[in-house]
């Protein structure tokens, strides 16, 4: 995935042009604002593409954005057949591109089965944002063998290995935003930037902070030149506190609703409206528990470290209300396992879009 972390708010798309059974051109959407995969593949063709078949992982666009419609390029190139792996669920597409191609005499085939499922999985943030108006949320956490994320004093550095932490930094580089609660922001004073090579764009940093109490001298606020910071507060926050954050460049979002779950949904709507399609949730337990309670976790990535903390007062992976019966528990659709320098990374997909 050479373009992961570079195309938002556009999807990840690849395309191949095949003529007489041979590939004559291929391309992918490298970054937002650059040519789409179909145009890149057509421009890379080693011979005239007239009558060829274009294989593309997502329905070709038919609208004018920062780049012209791909349907125009396909028709102009004389492509005879287009094979599409997945639909584009956005209102400005959603089958329109396929209809235009058919009207122009291009044969269109839409695949199904495993290939279609894999193509949809590539663009889960894009799809969820289009279908629900909210960001795709990945909950990342490091825990001990007995399910603790911190000791009773709040100490958590470091549960996971250096290699695991490096992987988490790579994930930061691939999302639109990273989120924590105010208790994590206060206790750890994190930067929440992606500290890896070749970062196309640093993620926005989001702090869920009902009272707008984030300190002006925190690393988040003093590093606004590296990436934006958004503070999500409630209507109970003091205007002076909100104004102080806004005066130094923090984007303050006032979430509405009669309780914490309602305010969280409101916050996600506001974040999506600001262009956040993908959100890496890094804690803490209370905030993560609320996300689970309102069913807004799409994927969970758990680093399980070979250490045992013990103690009934040690902090668990999740807070919140939880479920009353195991039969009501969230059940993963798919689980993958990977060993990383002594840690076990468990990736669980809870939803598909």
Report pLDDT digits (tens) over 220-258: 999 999 999 999 999 999 999 999 999 999 999 999 999
pLDDT at 1 (0 to 100): 64
Domain-ending residue, one of 55, 87, 122: 122
Q: Are both 103 and 192 inside the same structural domain? A: no
Q: Are residues 232 and 158 in the same domain?
A: yes
Question: Are 151 and 109 in the same domain?
Answer: no
Instruction: Report how many domains make up the chain.
Output: 2
CATH of residue 187's domain is: 3.40.430.10
Q: Residue 315 forms beta bridges with which residues?
A: 150
**Which structural domain, as residue segments, surrounds residue 29?**
14-122
Residue 4 lies in a domain: no
What does the mean pLDDT of the chain come to?
95
Please give the Cα distance from 277 to 271 (Å, whole number): 8
- Does residue 7 fall inside a structural domain? no
Identify whether 338 is a catalytic site residue: no
Instruction: For residues 199 and 90, state if they share a domain.
Output: no
In a domain, 207, yes or no: yes
User: 113-122 and 124-132 are packed helices; what angle lies between their axes, rounded to 10 degrees?
Assistant: 80
Q: Is residue 9 part of a domain?
A: no
Distance of alpha carbon 243 from alpha carbon 33, whole angstroms: 34
**Domain assignment of residue 70, yes or no:** yes
What lies within 8 Å, CB to CB, of 18 at 6+ separation is 24, 52, 53, 54, 55
Grouping H, G, I as helix, E, B as strand and the rest as coil, residue 143 is strand
Q: Considering the domain boundaries, does residue 320 fall inside one?
A: yes
Point out the domain boundary residue: 72, 93, 122. 122
pLDDT in tens, 175-208: 999 999 999 999 899 999 999 888 889 999 999 9
Q: Which of 26, 38, 104, 246 is catalytic?
A: 38
212 and 102 within one domain: no
Q: In terms of domains, do 200 and 237 share one?
A: yes
One domain, residues 142 and 265: yes
In this structure, the answer to whether residues 152 and 30 fall within a common structural domain is no
Domain of residue 75, CATH code: 3.40.140.10
User: 273 with 139, same domain?
Assistant: yes
Same domain, 150 and 253: yes
What's the confidence (pLDDT) of residue 67?
81
Residue keyed to tokens 């007995």: 146
Q: Which of 88, 122, 156 is the last residue of a domain?
A: 122
Mean pLDDT value of segment 59-73: 89
135 belongs to a structural domain: yes
CB 286 within 8 A of CB 320: yes
Judge if 104 and 230 occupy the same domain.
no
Q: Residue 155's pLDDT band (boundaries 50, 70, 90)?
A: confident
Same domain, residue pair 269 and 292:
yes
- pLDDT of 134 over the 90 cut: yes
Task: Report the percent of the chain where pLDDT is more than 70.
Answer: 100
Judge whether 147 lies within some domain.
Answer: yes
Please tell me whether the overall predicted TM-score, pTM, comes out greater than 0.95 for this model.
no
């Amino acid at each position: 995935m050479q373009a992961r972390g570079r195309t938002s708010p556009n999807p990840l798309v690849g395309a191949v042009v095949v003529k007489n059974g041979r590939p004559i051109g291929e391309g992918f959407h490298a970054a937002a604002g650059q040519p789409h995969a179909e145009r890149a593949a057509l421009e890379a063709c080693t011979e005239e593409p007239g009558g060829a078949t274009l294989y593309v992982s997502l329905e070709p666009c038919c609208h004018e954005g920062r780049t012209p419609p791909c349907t125009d390029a396909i028709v102009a190139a004389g492509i005879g057949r287009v094979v599409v792996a997945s639909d584009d669920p956005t209102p400005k597409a959603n089958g329109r591109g396929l209809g235009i191609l058919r009207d122009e005499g291009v044969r269109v085939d839409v695949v199904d089965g495993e290939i279609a499922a894999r193509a949809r999985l590539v663009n889960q943030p894009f799809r969820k944002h289009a279908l629900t108006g909210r960001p795709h949320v990945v909950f990342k956490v490091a825990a001990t063998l007995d399910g603790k994320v911190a000791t009773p004093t709040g100490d958590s550095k470091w549960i996971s290995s250096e290699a695991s932490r490096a992987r988490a930094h790579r994930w930061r580089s691939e999302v639109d935003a990273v989120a924590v609660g105010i208790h994590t922001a206060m206790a750890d004073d994190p930067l929440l930037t992606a500290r890896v090579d070749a970062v196309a764009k640093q993620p926005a940093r989001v702090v869920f902070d009902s009272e707008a109490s984030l300190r002006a001298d925190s690393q988040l606020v003093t590093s606004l030149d590296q990436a934006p910071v958004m503070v999500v507060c409630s209507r109970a926050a003091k205007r002076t506190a909100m104004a102080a954050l806004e005066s130094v460049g923090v984007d303050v979002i006032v979430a509405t609703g009669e309780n914490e779950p309602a305010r969280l949904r409101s916050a996600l709507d506001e974040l999506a409206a600001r262009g956040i399609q993908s959100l890496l949730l890094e804690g803490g337990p209370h905030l993560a528990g609320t996300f689970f309670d309102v069913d807004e976790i799409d994927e969970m990535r758990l680093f399980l470290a070979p250490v045992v903390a013990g103690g009934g007062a040690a902090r668990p992976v999740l807070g919140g209300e939880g479920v009353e019966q195991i039969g009501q528990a969230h059940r993963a659709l798919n689980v993958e396992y990977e060993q990383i320098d002594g840690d076990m990374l468990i990736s669980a997909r809870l939803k598909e879009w």
